[in-house]
Structure 1
């Protein structure tokens, strides 16, 4: 009897210690933006119920400041437990030993859309759980096509696209295509949509070798420069949202944007949404961009933080983000294979053009200094738009400069 009492007392003491320890675990979660707050609050309640004693403190910050705060806290040795970060930052964070790799089992890997995990991969490890995903397609103002006397048909190749844009510019005086060239992140992003549709890449993630200096990039840059002839005036003064404004005002016939574009266009525009046309050395592709949930190193409770990060980004929790009618995000997971009947992107022609090219798309290139990489890429693009140098020289210079930041 005494032995049983001792065991009972020991078990009770262990439970009290565990509970006390659990109560001390505070998972500090920095998230970006205000979309989906209610869904996150509900998930936090679920997590806290499943992990007695653990508390999640969520701080929602604007996109312009959330990542900077996470980086500053980590650099100061007082990291958040979990944070929402652009996947472009993962290589830098990993190289500086600020985050821990995440484990994604093989069967779980198969649940992701093709190419999504490439956006969080570096040195054969995954450094974050993808949590928001976008692809790109081309929007066409059919009213301008009709005004120019040509059929509003999806261009299959770059030659088709240029020919249509040229006719529109000559017949209507409006820009056949909208180009971005401002010193902004989506200038590089827009160019990468063309590069990935021509079979090119910036860096080989498996070898960490710069692959920019290629026939594929050269063809792409030359074509981008050629589009100046049929674009809006002064493309180096424009980023994507400004091009969208021109499109809404009926001054641009074609431009590239994400699935959220539909909700941001004027209702009176008679438009089509079509895949990116293919370059001479590739097939229709797209830029794959993700934001991720990362687990920072040094919180002292990385195991609990990892559980929370995993819950945020799996199954129904992730579907609540992707499938939210207001979010207009591409699906990260193959939800039809996970038991969700008729997910939002199934049997919808609009979503088909954003989902089908995923298999041939490419990730945002991962560099240790991603801002420096972006500056190099934008300089190359601006150089061709302004005719500052030949495409050959611009590509060679950019490839050499990128070596310093990989």
Structure 2
């Protein structure tokens, strides 16, 4: 899941179209050994040692219960996953199971690469949070992805730094972009060494994130009702104007464009920024780098992003990466069986318990499970977990690059994301001083050229 500071795309729809004819004549064809043993390879992006260890334990128990089956896991960094995945496609040697961003499920499905996971979903039953299940229940009546865990992007702030700017309020009070510029500027002026807001601009991924979230919180869209890309709009113009105003007012740290995601977490922990946007894994940075700060008192979270002048309500990001299984693997059935085992209560509790503020359970019952409630991170940071649940239930938490729920149906979201067209536009304007109208027009032309061949019509 996110909290990664990654900057590259997994794989684009156009890349898949070129590679699929090469890839799946023997997808995972070497998985089943000559002696009949079943070998399942699992790729995931959870690099935390405790999470890797938890999956090792789950694998050991599964292998003990299923003689003749071998399961191996590989933690792949998001920055490496694109290259690794494309190489596997070209070689016809995909893993049986991998995690992907939500937008890639439609891309892979459109290329007929995935096996339905109805049995895994059915094993979760009504305990599976409906907001997550519905994302990957596709029109043919089957489920093609199962979310391994989830989280939502929150506004995280240092209450102690805000206290130095009496009268400025806190992020919980913010309603509009104008309010936020005024507040964050006041906080910057009240703290000698801290800025009101820090963004992570070093990675293209994070710039894509802020662009689509601010656009969606301004009533804008990345795609119109016909599924055509739409960048050169008043709503996008206002996003860029807002970004420039944050920069010029001193509300935004001038270091933002060189900051990784991890840097932004440290900036809040070390008192260099009063506000960031973050997922729950940040708690480990705070505990490590600022152990004297009190969760819920010095460090607080709120859901509400400020709303732009053309918007009516904010949106935030839902990080909900699903497991998928590849269709032509000879061990696809065994892979699905392993996922059912993975989601059994005790096994799954090991997984989410490894980073409980980041890996929120897809099983609703686990939130009230005494063993889950007893986890130290849940006791200390339960207010953040509760807030993420509330954000999910509002229906305003959307996956990466989705400004309306229907956008998730488009198989070429990954192309726009991976092209870095939006990133270039933002950087040219905010860091390079390019005229906003010119930057939007150029970005629109580039996006039209890229995506027009992929439109259904």
Provide, for residues 64-93 of structure 1, a one-character-per-residue CA deviation record: whole Å limited to 9, x for no partner: 445643442232112222223344443443
Contact map agreement 1:373 1:402 (CA 8 A) in 2 = no
Contact map agreement 2:148 2:323 (CA 8 A) in 1 = yes
Distance 1:111 1:136 in 2: 23
For 1:4, the equivalent position in structure 2 comes to none
For 2:222, the equivalent position in structure 1 comes to 202
1:362 pairs with 2:398 = yes
1:166 pairs with 2:185 = yes
1:157 pairs with 2:175 = yes
Distance 2:55 2:390 in 1: 29
Contact map agreement 2:153 2:316 (CA 8 A) in 1 = yes
Alignment of 1:179-198 (within 5 A): 179-198=199-218
For 2:41, the equivalent position in structure 1 comes to 28
Distance 1:226 1:64 in 2: 31
Larger radius of gyration: 1
For 1:14, the equivalent position in structure 2 comes to none
For 2:358, the equivalent position in structure 1 comes to 329
- Paired residues in the alignment total 385
Structure 1: state its 5+ residue gaps.
1-19
Corresponding residue SS for 2:173: coil
Mean Cα displacement is larger for which, 74-83 or 108-117?
108-117
TM-score (norm 1): 0.78
Contact map agreement 1:284 1:360 (CA 8 A) in 2 = yes
1:41 pairs with 2:79 = no
Contact map agreement 1:99 1:294 (CA 8 A) in 2 = yes
For 1:379, the equivalent position in structure 2 comes to 424
CA RMSD of aligned residues (A): 3.7
For 1:308, the equivalent position in structure 2 comes to 338
Once the two structures are TM-superposed, the CA of residue 107 in structure 1 deviates from its matched residue by 9.3
Residues 253 and 337 (structure 1 numbering): CA distance in 2 closer, same or farther, change over 3 Å? closer
1:69 pairs with 2:97 = no
Distance 1:329 1:192 in 2: 22
Instruction: Say which of 443, 449, 455 aligns to 1:398.
Output: 443
Contact map agreement 1:23 1:55 (CA 8 A) in 2 = no
Distance 1:290 1:268 in 2: 31
Corresponding residue SS for 2:147: strand
Q: As a proportion of its length, which structure holds more strand?
A: 1
Distance 1:118 1:221 in 2: 33
Mean Cα displacement is larger for which, 81-90 or 273-282?
81-90
Alignment of 1:205-216 (within 5 A): 208-210=227-229, 212=231, 216=235
Structure 2: state its 5+ residue gaps.
1-32, 402-407
Residues 180 and 79 (structure 1 numbering): CA distance in 2 closer, same or farther, change over 3 Å? closer
Mean Cα displacement is larger for which, 212-221 or 167-176?
212-221
Corresponding residue SS for 2:100: strand
